[in-house]
Each structure stands twice: as structure tokens, then as C-alpha cells.
């Protein structure tokens, strides 16, 4: 690793650890193991780039998360561990949201009479609630990150409540 940069691979490894129990991410039909690994790596890189782009659209951050090079698969500054963790959480949310589209496709493909016989409503509702909770958790983590110095972790601003009167 060149000093002052972060390779995509470092973040992707943390992402793989985050989803290690999810066999669906790593298993593909009719492909060799090396092809499956290649597909999984490409998907993880896509989630990483989407996550970096998402962070770069947020104002008032200490760094520009759009400062990366996809060709050499490097972020052009050193990420701290808490930043890698935040990016991995956004990658995980992005990955999980992909399945939400499948729920909608399933709703469209079934006729109303099919849904009365086989009603996956509880599963859909549970999954949507899971996504909503995960989204809120990620949003809270992004807000927490925005309000802290990236190097020290200290709050950027502290409200002095003593200056306000209780009258």
C-alpha cells in the first residue's frame, strides 16, 4: 500500500467478513470457483464505489470520498478504521436493498389470487422493516461521523448549555 492511500481490497475484505454467512453472495450456478470469486469481487467493488459515491454526495465531511481511482482500485487518501467500518455498513445496506427489488418483482408476478393462497406478506413486511432499520442505523452512523473529527474522533462542536438561561 502506497503511503496515504487505501486499496479497495482492504475494504472489500472487511465487507466479506461482514457477509461471511451469506452463501448467496458467493455461490453462482454453472461457473467455476475462480469465476465465482471473480464475480463476488466485482460485485463488492461495485458496492464499494456506490458507497463512496453516496458519501461524496454528503456535505460537510472532512474528506472527499470521490477521490478514488477505479482503474488502480485505490482511494487516494488513508482511511481510518472507523471510516472503513462506515463504508462497509453502507456497502452492506446497498447489498441488502438489492433484494428489496426482488420483493417488488415477486408482487408483480403473482396474481392477487396466488397471493391469497401463498401470502408472503409477513416475510415482505419483515424484510422491509429490516431494511428500514438498517437504513436508519447507517444514517445515524453517517451523522455521527459527520459530527466528529476524522482523526481524533472528538466532536467538532460542543454546545455550551451554560450560556442559555433557564428563564
For residue range 106-128, what is the model confidence (pLDDT) as tens digits? 555 555 665 555 556 677 788 88
- 63: pLDDT strictly greater than 70: yes
- 37: pLDDT strictly greater than 60: yes
What mean pLDDT do residues 36-63 have? 94
**Residues 48, 84: contact at Cβ < 8 Å?**
no
**Residues 86, 133: contact at Cβ < 8 Å?**
no
Q: What is the pLDDT of residues 13-31, one digit of tens each?
A: 999 999 988 888 888 888 8
Cell 392477487, residue located = 112
Segments making up each domain of the chain, as ranges: 6-154
**Residues 29, 99: contact at Cβ < 8 Å?**
no
Count of CB atoms situated within 10 Å of the CB of 47: 23
What Cα–Cα distance (Å) separates residue 157 from each residue in 11, 101, 153? 29, 40, 12
DSSP state of 75: E
Q: What is the pLDDT of residues 65-107, one digit of tens each?
A: 999 999 999 999 999 999 999 999 999 999 999 887 766 555 5
d(CA 139, CA 46) in angstroms, rounded, equals 20
The structure's pTM equals 0.83
What mean pLDDT do residues 26-51 have? 92
**Residues 88, 14: contact at Cβ < 8 Å?**
yes
Structural element, H or E, at residue 132: helix 121-146
| pLDDT score recorded for residue 105 | 56
DSSP H helix total and E strand total for the chain:
6, 3
The helix-helix angle for 33-56 and 81-109 (nearest 10°) equals 110
Share of the chain above pLDDT 90, in %: 59
**Residues 73, 109: contact at Cβ < 8 Å?**
no
Of 48-57, 68-77, 98-107, 143-152, where does mean pLDDT reach its minimum?
98-107
pLDDT band at 163 (very low <50, low <70, confident <90, very high): confident
Where in the chain does DSSP place strands (E)? Answer: 6-7, 68-69, 74-75
Amino acid at each position: 500500500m502506497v503511503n496515504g492511500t487505501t486499496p479497495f481490497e482492504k475494504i472489500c475484505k472487511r465487507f466479506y467478513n461482514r457477509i461471511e454467512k451469506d452463501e448467496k453472495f458467493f455461490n453462482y450456478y454453472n461457473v467455476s470457483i475462480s469465476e465465482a470469486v471473480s464475480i463476488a469481487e466485482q460485485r463488492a467493488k461495485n458496492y464499494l464505489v456506490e458507497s463512496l459515491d453516496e458519501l461524496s454526495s454528503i456535505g460537510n465531511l472532512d474528506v472527499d470520498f470521490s477521490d478514488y481511482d477505479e482503474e488502480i482500485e485505490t482511494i487516494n487518501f488513508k482511511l481510518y478504521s472507523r471510516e472503513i467500518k462506515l463504508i462497509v455498513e453502507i456497502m452492506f445496506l446497498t447489498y441488502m436493498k438489492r433484494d428489496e427489488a426482488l420483493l417488488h418483482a415477486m408482487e408483480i408476478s403473482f396474481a392477487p389470487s396466488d397471493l391469497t393462497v401463498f401470502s408472503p406478506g409477513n416475510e415482505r413486511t419483515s424484510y422491509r422493516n429490516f431494511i428500514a432499520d438498517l437504513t436508519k442505523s447507517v444514517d445515524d452512523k453517517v451523522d455521527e461521523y459527520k459530527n466528529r473529527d476524522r482523526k481524533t474522533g472528538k466532536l467538532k462542536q460542543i454546545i455550551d448549555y451554560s450560556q442559555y438561561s433557564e428563564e
